[in-house]
Structures are given as structure tokens and as C-alpha cells.
Structure 1
Amino acid sequence: MRLLTHNMLSSNIKGVTNGFPLRIEVEKVVEKPVDFNADFLKNMFAKIEWKALVDASRILGYAELPDEAEPSMLDSDDFLKKFHHALLELHLEEGALVCPETDRRFPVTKGIPNMLLHEDEDINNSAAFLNADTV
């Protein structure tokens, strides 16, 4: 699971008001090279919750992102390369995502988070599954 995916996920358990960001429990991290695309990164920057990305990347062992970022930093190739690596090339291969409010664990297996809810947990009483590796 890429950190791009992590940055877009939240817990949708019934009654949860603050399900973002999901905490990460790491068992295995892998790096998967992805072609660099500066335009994609510039377009995604405004959609990313920066603190959640920084915290997640550090949990995965990557501490190269600055604590804070602003749009003017997108003019720096060095910044874009670090942003690219954290957002797209770091993958949580095995571990779990944990709801910050309920401590409900969602396992991540082979890079795919299983966000399947039990019947009594889902807001609409229907199971929700997200194959986040396609994001």
C-alpha cells in the first residue's frame, strides 16, 4: 500500500468521528520504483494532508520530508524527488492500519489493506472493501 493510499483512507466504523489518519503498524516495508512525474506531484500536493504523510513516511523509515511544506517548494527538484519517493515508492507490504478512535485494526497483506467491516461496524450495514493497491 502506497502512502498516497494511506493519505486518502479513514476509518468508516459506525460512530467514529475522527478516523483519520489511520495509524500504521509495520511488519514489512518495500520500495517499488515508479516513474517520476512532476506534474502529477504538483497536482496531488494540494490534496495531501502533509502532517499525515510526514508521520507515515517516518513510521516506514523515511525521514527526508520536511515537517511543513508549501506550494513554493514544488519548484525544487530535490523536494519533488523526496515527495515522490515517500508518496509513491514506499509501500507498506505487511502490517496493519489502526483506527485512531477505536483502535480497530485493518490488516495489510501483500500490500492490500483489508478495510472490510463487520456488519455492526459499517455505517450503512453493508460491507465495504477497498483494494487500495489500485489507487
Structure 2
Amino acid sequence: MRLLTHNMLSSNIKGVTNGFPLLIEAEKFIEKTVDFNPDFLKNMYPKIEWKALVSAATSMGYNQLPEEVEPSMLESEEFLKKFHHALLELHLEEGALICPETGRRFAVIKGIPNMLLHEDEV
């Protein structure tokens, strides 16, 4: 699961008001090379919750993203390459996503998060 996907997931358990961002507990992650596309990154940036991305990348051992981003940074190839690596090349293979409000764990197996709710959580 790419961090791009993680940035768009939240816990939908009944009664949860703050199910985003899901915390990552990584048992195994891998890096997969993806073609660098600066235009894609510039278009995706406004849709990304930056603090959630930084936190997710840090939980997987990647500490190269700045805490805050200014629009001028989107013109820096060095910044875009770091953003690209975190967003598209880091993959959570095994572990869990954890609801920040309830602590409910959603398993990630072979890169696929299981976000199915139990009957009493709907």
C-alpha cells in the first residue's frame, strides 16, 4: 500500500468522529521504483494532508520530508523527488493501520489494507 493510498483512508467505525489519519504499524515495507513525474506531484499536492504524509513516512523510517511546505518548494526538483519517494515509492507490505480514536487495528497483508468493519462497528 502506497502512502498516497494511506493519505486517503480513514476509520469509518460507527461513532468515530476523528478517524484520520490512521497510524501505521509497519512490520515490513518495501521500496518500489516509480517513474518521476513532477506535474503529477504538483497536481496531487493540494489533495494531500501533508502532516499525515510526514507522519506516515516517518513511521516507515523515511525522515526526508519537511514539517511544512511552502508553494515555492513545488518548483524545487530536490523537494519533488523526496515527495515522490514518500508518496509513491514507499509501500507498506505487512503491518496494521490503527484508528487514532478507538485503537482498532486494520491488518495490512501483502500490501492490501483490510478495512472491513465488524457487524457491531457499522
TM-score range, shorter chain: over 0.9
Alignment-mate amino acid for residue 68 of structure 1: E
TM-score (normalised: structure 2): 0.98
Name the counterpart of 1:116: 116
- Give, in whole Å, the separation in 1 of the partners of 2:58 and 2:23: 12
Pairwise CA distance, 1:71: 1.7
Q: Which runs of 5+ in 2 are unaligned?
A: none
Pairwise CA distance, 1:120: 1.6
Name the counterpart of 1:6: 6
Name the counterpart of 1:46: 46
SS of equivalent to 1:92: strand
Name the counterpart of 2:59: 59
Q: Which runs of 5+ in 1 are unaligned?
A: 123-135
- Give, in whole Å, the separation in 1 of the partners of 2:88 and 2:115: 20
Cα RMSD (Å): 0.6
The share of aligned pairs that are identical, in percent, is 80
C-alpha distance after superposition, 1:86-111 (max 9, x if no partner): 00000010000000000000000000
- Give, in whole Å, the separation in 2 of the partners of 1:112 and 1:79: 28
The farther-off stretch of 66-75 and 78-87 is 66-75
Name the counterpart of 2:25: 25
Alignment-mate amino acid for residue 36 of structure 1: F
- Give, in whole Å, the separation in 1 of the partners of 2:16 and 2:102: 8
SS of equivalent to 2:25: strand
Q: How many residues align?
A: 122
- Give, in whole Å, the separation in 2 of the partners of 1:80 and 1:37: 9
- Give, in whole Å, the separation in 2 of the partners of 1:71 and 1:118: 42
